[in-house]
Amino acid sequence: MSVAPGRRRWWRLLQPVVVVAILVAVGSTLPFEDELSLAADGALAHESHTGEIVGDWKGDRAEFAVAGAANDARYLLARDDAGVWRASATGAGEVSARAAELRPSMQRVFGSVDPSGLALAFLAFFTALSFGITRWWRLLRLSGCNVRWWDAFRLTYLGMFFNLVVPGLTGGDVIKAVLAVRENPGRRADALVSVVMDRVLGLVALAALAMVVILVLGGPFAELRVPMAIALVAMVAGGLVYVNRAVRQLVRFEALLARMPLGARLAELDRAVMAYTRHPWELALAFALSLCNHLAAIAGVMALGVAFGVSRAVLGWWQYVAIVPVANIVSALPIAPGGWGVGEAAFHYLFELVGASGALGVAVSIAYRLCQLAVGLLGGLYLLRPGQRAELRSVDVETAAAAAPSA
């Protein structure tokens, strides 16, 4: 049963409102002036100051000039071995340095980003995408679709392009699936199911990776164990129940499909899904490619974090391996187009969970999405091919007709 057109229209109108509301909520927590927060220490109460950072705040030493203070009050800042800032006031008679949190303004964060870190992140994201394309290509071949790797590359980039520049119209996976079906007319169901399997394997690998690291690290990630365990168990258990032949026979699954609307088409899709269960080693390889895809993407996000000044003493590789999959799973929820707003809120929360700056987490999330946008825009180059735009217009008509409710 398809969703009523009125509900679809309302949801499309509501999504931008949801994105703006989330971004406003996240933005209200971000510093737009340099801030210094001093922890309580003995008789000294907690203090917060606005002002200006002087020096390289990404390094181990800097200064902070307090705004509006008499006698040009300043704090000398130095990182300890754990990467925590210690602040001591110049000429104020404080004997010991106090633990402090330095929060650079968002303008300073984006204005001082390291270009070499951005370049490294782009390289990592291209590598991650190559692993993902290879996974889908092998799944297509496994289903009987005779395609070249470059064909999978082209279809993936076209899907990414339309997912970015036409948000909410058809979606990247839908465009990719329809194009794959059109190019494999004899294996339509198999081509369509390959896209679904590709997405499912990617999500399962993402959840499994996060779950293992969260279990090992514990500490601040302990509160994520239950929700991540529920998500992983639900995905794995749902898949195992679906392909279990004894369960299918018990509930007379094929007979149920036959009685449903479009039963013949559903039965063909079901056949395509079950065909994958006869190739466990290929599925294992697809899972391994998914892990490589996610690890390369995590490396890219870490490169962005370093470029924005996130201290590696505070946020190391394994913390990123826990944070990025959780944030990506949250971003994949169909709440806002492209995950905008939702992802920023997730990175803000997860960075603060491990003691890093939530503002830097938002900066990393925004840069991550902009990198994905830049990579996806490259798919627009394929529109320059003769006849490609006409083909995509017919695809759009096809998907719109498929989404329309039957009379």
> pLDDT tens-digit profile of 217-267?
777 777 777 887 888 888 788 877 877 788 777 777 777 766 666 566 667
Q: Which of the residue ranges 99-103, 277-281, 383-387 would you say has the lowest mean pLDDT?
A: 383-387
Q: Which percentage of the chain shows pLDDT scores above 70?
A: 77
Fill in the DSSP letter of residue 313: T
- What are the backbone angles phi and psi of residue 100, rounded to the nearest 5°? -145, 155
User: Does 335 share its domain with 272?
Assistant: yes
- State the Cα–Cα distance between residues 120 and 302, nearest whole angstrom: 10
Nearest to 33 by CA among 49, 46, 17, 50: 50
Residue 17 lies in a domain: no
User: Does 253 share its domain with 279?
Assistant: yes
Q: Count up the domains in the chain and report the number.
A: 2
User: Does 213 share its domain with 73?
Assistant: no
> pLDDT tens-digit profile of 3-54?
455 555 665 566 667 667 777 777 777 778 888 888 877 666 777 888 888 8
- State the Cα–Cα distance between residues 195 and 180, nearest whole angstrom: 9
The pLDDT-based confidence of 285 (bands split at 50, 70, 90) is very high
The pLDDT-based confidence of 382 (bands split at 50, 70, 90) is low
Residue ending a domain, choose from 48, 71, 104: 104
Supply the pLDDT for residue 283: 86
Residue 388 lies in a domain: yes
User: Does 226 share its domain with 321?
Assistant: yes
- State the Cα–Cα distance between residues 146 and 207, nearest whole angstrom: 31
Domain holding 375, by residue range, is 115-394
User: Does 93 share its domain with 146?
Assistant: no
User: Does 90 share its domain with 179?
Assistant: no
Supply the pLDDT for residue 125: 92
The residue with greater pLDDT, 39 or 185, is 39
SS3 of residue 56 by DSSP: coil
